[in-house]
Structure 1
Amino acid sequence: MQFKRWLFLPIFLLAFTPLLDAQTSHRALRNGNKAYKDQNFNEAKSEYNRALEADNSAKGNYNLGNALFEGGDYEEAAKKYEEAASLSTDPTITSSAYRNLGDAQYQQENYKESVEAYKQSLRINPDDKETKYNLSKAIRRLQQQQQQEQQQQQNQDQQDQQDQQQQDQQGQGEQQDQQQQDQQSEGEQQQDQQSQQQQNQQQQDQQQQESNQNQQGEPQPNKDQPKMSREEAERQLAIAAEAEKETMKNLQKGARSGCKDGKDW
């Protein structure tokens, strides 16, 4: 896509204009135009900047924009074209400034801004075939750019959805793991409680067994033996007393028979 640049040569100031700044700007513009034609764009930029210091004119901004454009500085060129369009009272300069602004935005892939600049130029000069052609190219590029951005947005949305699903699944997995850990911990606690209960029961059983053994070692009354009546008990006691008296008599007799008078030697 070729972009043609046109220079606007300054009109000589009238002889009765004694302004020094205007003369300085005029001389700098002539030098800048000469350098531009020789494709010495750096020198052209220096001369155009000198002209603008003396007089911030639409022509000076327009020509400086062309020098910047040829040097590949499209962003700064666009600024100068916008300045030229805002300062210009000449429809030809204004239309050309908007067209070149569209070219600078196109080079930066700012297709939406490029389309608007071309439209502005055609509103002033609707018969400019080159601007119409550039506008059609910018519209196609804008459509392609919008489709690419839409596709990228869809891909990003799908990726975000997949990432969210993975996060949800990971969260569910962590929740399940936590539930399993809680269940395992609860089961261990129940086992500990059951084990403690078993130990307590064993201790109680052991204590009961020891108590039973101690009770078995002591004489227990015979519940099956019939009870003795009072009369029978008194009779048994009387018999025992008689037997004891008889025994005492026998002992006394034995003692007397065993004693002798005198000494036996």
Structure 2
Amino acid sequence: MTTTTTTNTKTAIVTGAARGIGASTAKRLASEGFAVAVLDLDEAACAETVDAITAAGGRALAVGANVGDEQSAADAVARVAAELGAPTVLVNNAGIIRDNMLFKMTADDWDSVMTVHLRGSFLMSRAVQSHMTEAGWGRIVNLSSTSALGNRGQANYSAAKAGLQGFTKTLAIELGKFGVTVNAIAPGFIETDMIAQTAERVGMPLDDFLAAAAKQIPVARTGRPEDIAHAVAFFVSEGASYTSGQVLYVAGGPTS
């Protein structure tokens, strides 16, 4: 692992980092020399990601927080700043699904998804922006989805992920003059727990579900969390300082 000295290390927060895309991203950023706050609703669930980072020579901190709760989000960022260093990178990855057709979707299904994806990204971004503007350097990466283009049975999730794209572009305009870039990544079909939940919802064995999806993807395979982590690593790099307000679809082929 490539690491820097503690005094020069930038601190990153990755939400929803106990598993899947978040865990892969946290490990990748640690390998790039960042100290990483591994944030998830259940702090104990972050242990595996933290252990993997520290075993490879990196610095990591497990943080339990509800990103959709204003006080919890603010407290989490304050703790990271105190224990790991002022956060100047934020990856808003935390997410849930409550899929259903519109006529069966409850208000709670709608509100829960909006709270985690949109409210959570807003609260976390608002809490870290002062650290970024003070440093004159920052990176925010929001996790959108190809579902932002519309997806049957995901009115709530699609709306939230589309909202994140508008949120991204607005923050890029507001924060650019302070040396802060804001971009979004829209993953396609990525092998995560959410995909397993979707397969269960539609009544298909997971292996069959993955195989069927791969047949529809131009690169003839489904995505892996590492594919998204690579894209995050680009957006937070020094070389991406002139790239802001963009939505990068990482989906194995073109999207419409």
Query: Same fold per TM (> 0.5)?
Result: no
Band the TM-score falls in, shorter-chain normalisation: under 0.3
Name the one with the larger strand percent: 2
* Higher Cα Rg, which structure: 1
Which structure is richer in relative contact order (CA contacts within 8 A, separation 6 or more)?
2
**TM-score (normalizing by structure 1):** 0.21
Name the one with the larger helix percent: 1
**TM-score (normalizing by structure 2):** 0.21
